[in-house]
Copies of this chain bind each other. A is one copy, B any other.
Amino acid sequence: MRAHDLPAIRHLPLFRTMLQANFDALMHAAYAQVFPAGLELIRQGDAADFLHVLMEGGVELHSGWADRETTMAVVRPVRSFILAACIRDAPYLMSARTIERSHIVLIPTSDLRATFRRDPEFAVAVIDELAGCYRAVVRQTKGLKLRNSRERIASWLLRQSVRAGNAAGYHLPIEKRLLASYLGMTPENLSRALKSLEADGIKVDGARVIITDRARLAALARFDPLIDGSDSRDDISCAAMPEPDPDD
């Protein structure tokens, strides 16, 4: 593991409050690894052996059924993912693949489970983390069921802008096909919807997005803290943070 990995992990809300000794023990059992882009890290249905912490790069969490596939989340550094499966010692519900060359730290689940039984502070951190993850997926589900594709796109674009510090312009942090799948639509539909949204306050050129009429876009998206907000703890990391990442 690289020298600066440990402090970065320790700084995560999940690991920030636990006893140093327990943290050290956990990290001692862990090991770091580098994966190329496009590698399948986890296959849904497999036993949850390791809690993953993404230090660098990007990971797509996705699920398949029959011959279909959908993107459940895109994870960006520094974040842990698939905590819930680890805790329940249950099969992964999602697969994971790198979308870029990625540095990942793997923490054996057995150590993890032993630790939160011994360290009450860690247990509280796990509780907080899981509650945050749960609420994130609930938000995602609400968005899927209550909004149509145009509204989902509009609100996602707006959220991205907020994450970029209310910037009017930014770059899409992920490929459009991933975004489409994440938003529950086909790439074709996304492409057309983006074009049609140019009448409603955005301009898209490749990965470059410019919000030309924030008010108009906001009116369409009907931004709602109970869907689009985050629980505004410093940071919530886990399995399914719906939003990818800020951007330049």
Contact = CB atoms under 8 A, between A and B. Distances in A.
Q: How many copies does the complex hold?
A: 2
Q: Interface residue tally of chain A, by bracket? A: 35 or more
Contact of A93 (B65, B124, B133, B139): B139
Interface string A107-137: 0000000001100100110111011111101
B65 A128 contact: no
Interface in A199-248: 222, 224-227, 231, 233, 239-240
Secondary structure at the A interface, as helix, strand, loop or mixed, is: helix
Nearest to A90: B231
A53 interface: no
Given A123-B123, A226-B44, A72 B131 contact: no
Contacts of A65: 142, 146-147, 222, 224, 226-227
B130 A131 contact: yes
Contacts of A128: 87-88
A91 interface: yes
Nearest to A88: B131
A158 to B, nearest CB: 14
